[in-house]
Structure 1
Amino acid sequence: MNIQQKDDGKHGAFELHDGEKLAGEMVYTWAGDQLFIIDHTDVADDYRGQGVGRKLLDAVVDFARKNQIKIIPLCPYAKSVFDKDPSIRDVLRDA
């Protein structure tokens, strides 16, 4: 499995691929030069319960840290993980 980022300057997504299959994606919208909103996370039925969402969020957090970007998690899944894991809250807008 590999994660790829797509970004058009306004919207983007981190996608986790298993060969040719899209296992999941985390979609975001830019809200300024150093801020983006995680809009939603979608995991294909065959991949649910296998940590795909967390792998995507970890990739987003890594990207944010490397690029000094802050995140607003509107996506219920992403918000719940940020609420449960204090080790990744440094990338939240209000951190």
Structure 2
Amino acid sequence: LLFKDIRPSYVISQVETRKELIYLIQESFDLSISNVKKVGNRKLKDFKLFTRTLDELIKFIYYFDKFLPLHDNKQFNYIKFRFNLFIKSYN
């Protein structure tokens, strides 16, 4: 399954709540790409099925940022801040 083939509704169906989405994104910051596959958590493993590369992970997070109205959520704003730092360090 390629990232470009993924529709928002499919991805949303893999994440039951916004809290889970936030958890998945937080986990993606804290684990290296090579270690993500080894994590036993089912949700994180499912998430990893369609984010095989760092580039796909970046696109995925941007995708959710545009698709879900999470901007009023304080926790998500913190994640966006972390993600921006992550992008800067990656570049």
Structure-2-length-normalised TM-score: 0.38
Larger RCO (CA within 8 A; separation ≥ 6): 2
Q: Name whichever structure is richer in strand by fraction.
A: 1
